[in-house]
Every structure is written in C-alpha cells, then in structure tokens.
Structure 1
Amino acid sequence: MGRAGKALRQVLTTYGISQNRLAVVMGVNRATVNQWFNETRDPLAESIPDIVTALETLNEAAAKEFIVLYLGRIAQDDEPS
C-alpha cells in the first residue's frame, strides 16, 4: 500500500486523533478511515485534500505533518522565502 495510510496512521497516533473523529469531520464512514489506517485500502487521490482539511480542523500541526510524511518533503508554506 501507499504512503497515505502510513502517514495517516502515524499522524493519528502521534496527535491522539481517533479514526472516528477524523471520519466525522470528513463526513465519511469510520470503516473507510479504518481501511486507510490499516492500509487495506489507499485513499483516492481526490480524498487527500479532504484528509488535510479535516486534520487542519482538528490539529494544524497534524495536518502539516501528514503533508510532510505523505509527500516526503517539507510543506511549501513552511519553506523559507
């Protein structure tokens, strides 16, 4: 499976965000988030911005870390100008 599930698992665990809470904020079924978390299914590319938006609502640092872990680089707005 891809990076998204690994990144999501790490972020939710690190920041103490439950799968259910993320699912509620995203408006998706908890089973969907569970599949991503356990890497039995990757989120669709179209879901990544929704994951980031939901994480921003819950914990901005978690959203930034997800982006870094998922993309494998520093988020653009964190780079020096």
Structure 2
Amino acid sequence: MGRAGKALRQVLERYRITQNRLAVAMGTRRSNVNRWVYENADPVAEAVLEIRDGLRAINPDAAEEFIQLYLNAPPGEEEKS
C-alpha cells in the first residue's frame, strides 16, 4: 500500500486542499479520502481517476502533480531532479 496515498497526501499539503474539499469535488465521503491519505486503504483504479478529476476541478496543477507522483515516483523515494 502507499503510492497513491503518499502522492495524495503530498499534493493536498502542497496545494492546501482539505480532504473534505476533495471529497466534495469527487462526490465521495471524506472518510474515503482520509483512508487513502493515511494509507489505510488503496484507491481502486477508478478512484485514482476520480481523484485526478476532483483535483483538476480544484487546481489543475495539483491534478498533474498527483498523477506524476503516482506514476513516476518509486515507492518510498522522492522524485530525483
């Protein structure tokens, strides 16, 4: 577990997006977002796309960064410059 949660946590903190705001944008419960952020559950593939779309509605840069972190960063490592 973890890659999506780590990417999501980093993006929410960096762009100052609350879990509740993302949940509303996604049309889901905040508890779902919380489980992903704290890595208690991994989002299914469809939910990863919904996270991207929810972030895009709030801040397109946040959505892009989430996808980049999720797809490119090896688990447990920060992206190297």
Q: Name the counterpart of 1:49.
A: 49
Cα offset, 1:2, TM superposition: 2.8
Q: Name the counterpart of 2:71.
A: 71
Q: Name the counterpart of 1:32.
A: 32
Q: 2:55 & 2:33 partners in 1: Cα distance?
A: 13
Partner amino acid, structure 2, of 1:51: I
Partner amino acid, structure 2, of 1:29: R
RMSD: 1.0
> For structure 2, which runs of at least 5 residues remain unmatched after alignment?
74-81
Paired residues, number: 73
TM-score by length of 2: 0.87
Cα offset, 1:46, TM superposition: 1.2
Q: 1:26 & 1:20 partners in 2: Cα distance?
A: 10
TM-score by length of 1: 0.87
> For structure 1, which runs of at least 5 residues remain unmatched after alignment?
74-81
List 4+ stretches of structure 1 deviating above 2 A.
Answer: none
Partner amino acid, structure 2, of 1:16: R
Q: 1:34 & 1:49 partners in 2: Cα distance?
A: 17
Secondary structure of 1:63 counterpart? helix
Q: Name the counterpart of 1:21.
A: 21
Q: 1:32 & 1:57 partners in 2: Cα distance?
A: 18
Task: Point out the structure with max Rg over C-alpha.
Answer: 1
Q: Name the counterpart of 1:77.
A: none
Secondary structure of 1:20 counterpart? helix
Q: Name the counterpart of 1:78.
A: none
